[in-house]
Chain A
């Protein structure tokens, strides 16, 4: 762990922080402007991409993860892996469930069961999105 002591290296740290700050502000404005333009699925990818770059800047520079190798990085990486693990399995479950176990997507409730004749007609019409 290089202990930052010499005055010179400090000076560079200050400018590095300033540059990161400017970078973050620029990215914030760009992501806001991109959101005004509707690009469909692309807008989600761009927004997420910019968010990841911004968070990488904050973590590596502001939180000095760039200098402190070893166990701090391990702790941060494990937390992200566990986040992905939990999200992956829960979303996989939600998307592959018996369709009727998921909440009702279309606002109109399915017609009530009462008259026998309704049984046949509904069989065709019940299409799951």
Chain B
């Protein structure tokens, strides 16, 4: 079904064409418009962060200096980290799909605090402006982890970057509080906790982490700013400070932060697996409670980032064991997703291609994560490319693919048009292939002992680096194709019906694109989400 000049979508009133002045967009309190604005902003961040990734990979083609010098390389990998972590991955699924679909799935007209929701958008913009300013001014060269005492003594502009992320932290906290209160107080009639879609459970778990972890990041950046500016000596050993205290405070936020990135992705996959396998999720309670499990136990494991940093053996042992418990929640989810396909009626669409990619990369990436948390192996692997490959498997392989699965699954609902299926599968295979080519060599580089953040490297690592850089370009083209056909589909895509996939998710009860206030009359929830035991009312003409 190629891109044909489709006839104009029937001009029914929806949230997009209800009012089209710029002011109506900039001052909107409609959660759907805020979701679309976030979508635009995080796609820009993905593009900018991706460009830095490519620049890094090209520099690493040859051992010596290739085309940039060491300090620029250090700035590039710092900015790649900061932009991808804070400006793309953390807001991506909660702020876009969470904002758009949480109220609809609950049968509510909007989130609990609509004005707060708009405030978090503008706080994101201000935070991005500060970091952009730092980027132009040269940006920090400390890596996104800002380890002291290097970060507090380096002469590069660390302060505006810290301020940018500090402000961005508030945007995440506000979104988290908004979603928690929405789930607690605005569930529709008949919508008990056990009838919540699994996406809502995942967003609820993520919001708990956002609310409980981000303040500690705020404080850590504040202390680092004070240390950098006035040299109070809190982390400076020459004045009696303890650099490990900074690492404890930083990782107390940053490990739960990686669950902020992956948990919403798991929510999207729970929804899409049920829809494309046309079958109810295998064990609803197990998946729902494991979302909360990840949210809570995720806070007990931050010490596995500090096994070789001088942390005591007792703490290393304790954190190693606790890290294993957080892993079983992920394995419950994976077995349940694969089990859901048993006895289903599966169609192979683009989102399903991303689901397969997601499953393989989450299992492989997750298991290498457990391997790295096995304390004696981490001594060799810490701060080498093995760790880089592990967290890219989770962040790009799992979280980004879940984001793409969600984007393709909900694109008809958000914009009323459907994307070209053929191009979707081409891009998906390109991305999965490019991803493997980029990061499998990095596992082997890590085993060989190639440390992280190296501008030039000994000769023996070059072949693997060239392979990885080639994979990165392949990955880039995959994303480019997606970007192109999605933008074109906005205008030229086939008008999609209210339920093109024949999905029994609650969000498909509204028209697509939805009305400004989601429903004429509030829906009554009388069944479990994704219950495919009765034939679907509207035959999906898409398949």
Contact = CB atoms under 8 A, between A and B. Distances in A.
Interface of A: 71, 78-79, 82, 85-86, 89-90, 92-98, 101-103
B314 A90 contact: no
Contacts of B241: 103
Question: From DSSP, what is the main secondary structure of chain A's interface residues?
Answer: helix
**B contact residues, range:** 20 to 34
A128 to B, nearest CB: 14
Contact of B310 (A78, A85, A98): A98
Interface stretch (B38-46, B242-250, B350-358, B446-454): B242-250
Contacts of A98: 310, 312
Contacts of A79: 212
A90 B242 CA distance: 11
B314 A101 contact: no
B192 to A, nearest CB: 16
B10 interface: no
A90 B216 CA distance: 14
A92 B315 contact: yes
Contacts of B319: 89
Interface string B164-197: 0000000000000000000010000000000000
Interface of B: 184, 212, 216, 237, 240-242, 244-245, 248-249, 252, 299-300, 303, 310-315, 318-319
A71 B310 contact: no
Contacts, number: 47
Contacts of B300: 85
B312 A93 contact: yes
Contact of A89 (B212, B216, B315): B315
B477 to A, nearest CB: 44
A17 B478 CA distance: 65
Contact of A85 (B244, B245, B299): B299
Contact of B314 (A96, A102, A103): A96
Given A97-B311, A103-B242, 13 more contacts: A79-B212, A82-B212, A82-B299, A89-B318, A90-B245, A90-B248, A93-B248, A93-B312, A96-B312, A96-B314, A97-B310, A103-B237, A103-B240
A96 B313 contact: yes
A93 B315 contact: yes
Contact of A97 (B240, B252, B312): B312
Contacts of B313: 96
B184 A71 contact: yes
Contacts of B240: 103
B310 A89 contact: no
A95 to B, nearest CB: 8
A98 B319 CA distance: 17
B188 to A, nearest CB: 19
A86 B300 CA distance: 9
Contact of A86 (B184, B242, B244, B252): B252
Given A89-B303, A103-B240, A78 B212 contact: yes
Contacts of A101: 244, 310
User: Could you say which of A90, A93, A102, A103 has the most chain B C-beta atoms within 10 Å of its C-beta?
Assistant: A93
Q: Tell me which of B184, B241, B312, B319 has the highest count of chain A C-beta atoms within 10 A of its own C-beta.
A: B312
Nearest to B322: A89
B211 to A, nearest CB: 8
A86 B237 contact: no
A102 B249 CA distance: 17
A86 to B, nearest CB: 6
Nearest to B310: A101
Nearest to A100: B310
A82 B318 CA distance: 17
Contacts of A85: 299-300
B321 to A, nearest CB: 13
A92 B319 CA distance: 12
A60 B55 CA distance: 57
Contacts of A92: 312, 314-315, 318
Contacts of B311: 93, 97
Nearest to A86: B252
A94 B311 CA distance: 8
Nearest to A82: B212
A90 to B, nearest CB: 5
B227 to A, nearest CB: 16
